[in-house]
Structure 1
Amino acid sequence: MSLTTPSPAEFLATAAAGTRVVVRYRIEGGLTDALGLLVGTADGGCTVRTRQADVVIPLELVVAAKEVPPAPPRRRPRG
């Protein structure tokens, strides 16, 4: 039995909106990651809602992507 792993772009295209993902993609000078909720994919790109902002990533720049577990609960400040 042969299981094939989907490409990062295929994974993003088939993942449900609201899935928590990490996407590694090329930028000038190297690579960077976007961690957050997948908003959706359209027009050759995907949108990931990070803590700071929505990040639109062209799929041709994506080198890796996967689902990640929910974020741990934030700790209360000491004091």
Structure 2
Amino acid sequence: MHLSGRLVHRIGPEDVGKRVTVRIRLPEGGFTDIIGVVESWEEGALTLRRRDDSLAEVAEDSIAASRIVPQTPPKRRGRP
């Protein structure tokens, strides 16, 4: 999500169905990250389905950075 210290927003409505991570600005000034599959993107908001099957609605204008991530996390080596 960083390029030379900058946050980069790389996803759009064409990425519905893909697994993404988004960094959103919180009202109190911090940031939080959400990882999930883009279920929908309509009227300035997107809905992400998290791994636990819960849904998160994100206002497009709150996204500070985003990118597509692999569908399944890579397996860790050397761990059972």
TM over 0.5: yes
Q: Given the superposition, is the C-alpha separation of residues 73 and 47 from structure 1 closer, same or farther in structure 2, using an over 3 Å criterion?
A: same
Q: Over aligned residue pairs, what C-alpha RMSD do you find? A: 2.4
Match of 1:25 in 2: 24
Structure 2, unmatched stretches of 5+, are 1-7
* Post-superposition CA distance 1:27-77 (Å, at most 9, x none): 133111110111110011111101231100000000111100122378xxx
Percent of aligned pairs sharing the same letter:
28
Runs of 4+ in 1 over 6 A off after TM superposition: none
Point out the structure with the larger helix share.
1
Aligned match of 2:60: 59
Q: How does 1:7-18 map to 2 (within 5 A)?
A: 8=9, 11-15=11-15, 17-18=16-17
Give the counterpart letter for 1:19 in structure 2.
K
Q: So what's the TM-score if we normalise by structure 2?
A: 0.70
Name the larger-Rg structure.
1
TM-score when normalising by structure 1: 0.71
